[in-house]
């Protein structure tokens, strides 16, 4: 009987969860939309100003110094809040392509995605790349076309752009009334209503005013004017005949994206979007693992570390592992098996997030994101459970495309440098390599802007000043071999090009594509891999 009650509670709590990542090309308004989702969700009382570094407040989700200075997101953050009876886990991701590795890992922890598009620019380069990542897992995507308060492309043209550029059906579930200076709001096609908001103090949550129910409501003509009302009716009639009807099945399998229009800065369309996310987006889904797939409704607790963040609280020099709960219930203080190390750990100080703000958590359920403070015990890709040994799959390290040699300005701070690079590399955004023949340490990153972030964080968080100078290398590959003899022979003959990464794995560095092709052709008994599962890290 007790077991049945627990399973009933588990099923109910899992069904309440909505865990989604918000993604976009830079400057599409993603951070502003994130703030407004938190505002409408009641998680914050006032939205921050997302403008210049002169602003007194900054986006709740942008907490790192460089984020506030540049006005961009360079690390992902997690925000938990309740809305309409659902527990929402919102994962804000970096938009800049140089931080795509962090975004990729966050998407592995999400059950769906919210894609933000600038109405003037349409689908952009990074949007396409993020879409490719989502397509790898058939991640369901809801699209929000932002900045309708500015002059931009027509709604029909934007829908066609999504379909042609991203190869996915676009089914509008809201429709804009005008654009730019003539923008009057959005009509909710899903609920057949138009919401108007009363003026509120700057940054505060808008107060809901008049609601127009349906296109036949006489109030529509009074509020929009005859021309505006007639134009809206004409557009909706056109969509009924020519647009894609929304299909829940096609959305959940990644073949169709429901599309919403609005202006995040002016609050138009944000509430409709948030309501759709909790109504339409899937709850926790089964996750691939070895030796078997894990259902969210299994009794045993399982969790996946998809991110590690150092120094969220600079005063305590802490490291927090972000854990996606995949099944079962988490209780404060429970013992969890750390399968990479083969040890038990006690999760006594687990936390919930609001960007860098945190609060203790007594219990959590599938779909929730919790933080476990630790001192380097947990790495990206680690699997935790209260039951059988397992390893969650699909969180890789990517081979760096940019390299820098580290020159320490003060040689007496070598220990601080080593500590800083070790901890920052655990986050997965930067990788460092030690050449086996000695010489200075090398840093590798997927995006060059990461080096600027690392140099600033070393200075501000570890009091270490470095110069990062260019190298001759432009590619790296991890080495895997069935035969130890073959690997030892390569190490002996190619030692000048070899290094070890932070996990102790052998890596070969290349100065050109031609050199890499020649080496791969010569050493046929060795695999040169561009990715490595994070969970492969050594103890």
Q: Is 30 part of any known ligand binding site? A: yes
- One domain for residues 323 and 437: no
5 in any annotated domain: no
pLDDT of residue 342 exceeding 80, the answer is yes
Q: Please state, rounded to an integer, the average pLDDT across all residues of the chain.
A: 84
177 in any annotated domain: yes
Q: Which residue has the higher pLDDT, 536 or 526?
A: 526
Please name which of 455, 475, 499 lies closest in space to residue 65, comparing C-alpha atoms: 455
Please name which of 407, 402, 442 lies closest in space to residue 425, comparing C-alpha atoms: 442
Q: Given the structure tokens 């953050």, which residue do they identify?
A: 77
- One domain for residues 358 and 453: no
Residue 412 CA to chain centroid, in angstroms?
Answer: 38
- One domain for residues 32 and 159: yes
- One domain for residues 320 and 182: no
How confident is residue 206, by pLDDT bands cut at 50, 70 and 90?
Answer: low
Residue 50 pLDDT: 35
Asked whether 368 and 350 are in contact (CB, 8 A), the reply is no
- One domain for residues 344 and 363: yes
How confident is residue 106, by pLDDT bands cut at 50, 70 and 90?
Answer: confident
Residue 410 pLDDT: 92
Residue 394 pLDDT: 78
- One domain for residues 116 and 220: yes
Candidate ranges 223-237, 275-289, 418-432, 473-487; pick with highest mean pLDDT: 275-289
Handedness of CA 358, 359, 362, 364 (dihedral sign): negative
Q: Is 181 part of any known ligand binding site? A: no
Q: Is 95 part of any known ligand binding site? A: yes
4 in any annotated domain: no
pLDDT of residue 65 exceeding 80, the answer is no
Candidate ranges 57-66, 215-224, 389-398, 503-512; pick with highest mean pLDDT: 503-512
301 in any annotated domain: yes
CB atoms near residue 253 (< 10 Å): 11
pLDDT of residue 347 exceeding 60, the answer is yes
Q: Is 29 part of any known ligand binding site? A: yes
224 in any annotated domain: yes
Total domains in the fold of the chain: 3
pTM of the model: 0.80
- The 8-class DSSP code of residue 203 comes to T
Among candidate residues 392, 413, 431, the one where a domain is terminated: 392
Mean of the pLDDT values across residues 151-163?
95
- One domain for residues 436 and 477: yes
Q: At what angle do helices 414-426 and 449-462 cross, to 10 degrees?
A: 120
Q: Is 376 part of any known ligand binding site? A: no
- The pLDDT tens digits for 28-56 are 888 889 989 988 887 765 554 333 333 33
Among candidate residues 221, 245, 280, the one where a domain is terminated: 280
- One domain for residues 65 and 213: yes
Mean of the pLDDT values across residues 254-263?
95
Candidate ranges 61-65, 310-314, 327-331, 503-507; pick with highest mean pLDDT: 327-331
Please name which of 525, 534, 421 lies closest in space to residue 468, comparing C-alpha atoms: 421
The boundaries of the domain holding residue 496 are 396-536
Question: How far apart, in Å, are the Cα atoms of 459 and each of 267, 453, 471?
Answer: 39, 10, 22
Least confident of 283-292, 392-401, 413-422, 488-497: 392-401
Q: Is 176 part of any known ligand binding site? A: no
Asked whether 507 and 519 are in contact (CB, 8 A), the reply is no
Residue 71 pLDDT: 47
How confident is residue 262, by pLDDT bands cut at 50, 70 and 90?
Answer: very high
90 in any annotated domain: no
Asked whether 235 and 175 are in contact (CB, 8 A), the reply is yes
Distance CA 172, CA 158 (A): 11
Q: Is 148 part of any known ligand binding site? A: yes
CATH number where 346 lies: 3.40.50.300
Q: Is 94 part of any known ligand binding site? A: yes
Residue 74 pLDDT: 44
Q: Given the structure tokens 């050199």, which residue do they identify?
A: 515
Residue 53 pLDDT: 33
pLDDT of residue 313 exceeding 60, the answer is no
pLDDT of residue 297 exceeding 70, the answer is yes
Please state whether beta strands 256-261 and 169-172 pair in parallel, antiparallel, or not at all (unpaired).
Answer: parallel
Distance CA 142, CA 252 (A): 10
Question: How far apart, in Å, are the Cα atoms of 54 and each of 253, 345, 365, 523?
Answer: 44, 44, 40, 56
The C-alpha angle 175, 181, 186, rounded to 5 degrees, equals: 20
- One domain for residues 275 and 345: no
- One domain for residues 339 and 485: no
Q: Is 385 part of any known ligand binding site? A: no
pLDDT of residue 476 exceeding 90, the answer is yes
11 in any annotated domain: no
Among candidate residues 280, 314, 338, the one where a domain is terminated: 280
- One domain for residues 196 and 60: yes
Distance CA 141, CA 245 (A): 16
Q: Is 303 part of any known ligand binding site? A: no
Least confident of 12-26, 107-121, 301-315, 511-525: 301-315
CATH number where 528 lies: 3.30.70.3280
Q: Is 24 part of any known ligand binding site? A: yes
Residue 131 pLDDT: 87
pLDDT of residue 24 exceeding 80, the answer is yes
515 in any annotated domain: yes
CB atoms near residue 259 (< 10 Å): 27
Please name which of 22, 168, 156 lies closest in space to residue 95, comparing C-alpha atoms: 22
- One domain for residues 526 and 437: yes
Residue 343 pLDDT: 93
pLDDT of residue 293 exceeding 50, the answer is yes
Q: Is 471 part of any known ligand binding site? A: no
CB atoms near residue 255 (< 10 Å): 14
């Amino acid at each position: 009987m007790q077991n049945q009650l627990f399973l009933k509670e588990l099923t109910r709590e899992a069904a309440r969860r909505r865990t989604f990542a918000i993604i976009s090309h830079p400057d599409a308004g993603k951070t502003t939309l994130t703030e407004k989702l938190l505002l409408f969700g009641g998680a914050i009382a006032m939205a921050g100003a997302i403008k210049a570094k002169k602003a007194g407040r900054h986006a709740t989700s942008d907490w790192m110094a460089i984020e506030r200075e540049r006005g961009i997101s360079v690390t992902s953050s997690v925000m938990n809040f309740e809305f309409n009876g659902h527990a929402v886990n919102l994962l804000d991701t970096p938009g800049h392509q140089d931080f795509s590795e962090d975004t990729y890992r966050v998407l592995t922890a999400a059950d769906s995605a919210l894609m933000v598009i600038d109405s003037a620019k349409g689908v952009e380069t990074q949007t396409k790349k993020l879409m490719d990542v989502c397509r790898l897992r058939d991640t369901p995507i809801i699209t929000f076309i932002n900045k309708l308060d500015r002059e931009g492309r027509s709604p029909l043209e934007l829908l066609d752009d999504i379909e042609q550029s991203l190869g996915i059906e676009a089914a509008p579930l809201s429709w804009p009334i005008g654009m730019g200076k003539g923008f009057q709001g959005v009509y909710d096609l899903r609920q057949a209503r138009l919401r108007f908001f009363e003026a509120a103090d700057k940054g505060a949550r808008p107060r809901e005013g008049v609601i127009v129910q349906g296109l036949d409501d006489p109030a529509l003509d009074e509020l929009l004017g005859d021309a505006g009302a007639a134009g809206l009716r004409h557009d909706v009639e056109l969509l009924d005949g020519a647009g894609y009807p929304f299909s829940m099945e096609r959305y959940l399998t990644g073949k169709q994206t429901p599309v919403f229009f609005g202006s995040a800065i002016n609050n138009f369309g944000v509430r409709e979007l948030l309501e759709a996310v909790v109504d339409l987006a899937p709850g926790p889904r089964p996750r691939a693992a070895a030796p078997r797939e894990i259902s969210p409704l299994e009794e045993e607790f399982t969790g996946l570390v998809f991110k590690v963040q150092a120094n969220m609280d600079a005063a305590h020099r802490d490291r927090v592992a972000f854990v996606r709960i995949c099944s079962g219930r988490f209780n404060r203080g429970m013992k969890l098996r750390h399968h990479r190390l083969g040890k038990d750990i006690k999760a006594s100080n687990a936390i919930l997030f609001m960007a860098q703000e945190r609060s203790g958590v007594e219990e959590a359920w599938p779909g929730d994101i919790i933080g476990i403070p630790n001192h380097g015990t947990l790495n990206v890709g680690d699997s935790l459970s209260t039951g059988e040994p397992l390893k969650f799959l699909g969180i890789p390290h990517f081979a760096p495309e940019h390299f820098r040699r580290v020159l320490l300005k003060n040689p007496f701070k070598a220990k601080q440098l080593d500590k800083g690079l070790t901890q920052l590399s655990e986050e997965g955004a930067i990788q460092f390599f030690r050449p086996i023949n000695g010489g200075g340490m090398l840093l590798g990153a997927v995006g060059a802007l990461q080096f600027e972030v690392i140099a600033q964080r070393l200075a501000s968080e570890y009091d270490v000043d470095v110069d990062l100078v260019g190298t001759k290398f432009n590619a790296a590959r991890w080495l895997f071999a069935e035969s130890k003899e073959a690997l030892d022979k390569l190490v002996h003959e190619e030692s000048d090009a070899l290094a070890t990464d932070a996990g102790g794995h052998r890596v070969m560095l290349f100065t050109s594509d031609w050199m890499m092709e020649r080496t791969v052709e010569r050493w046929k008994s060795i695999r040169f891999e561009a990715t490595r599962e994070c969970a492969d890290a050594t103890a």
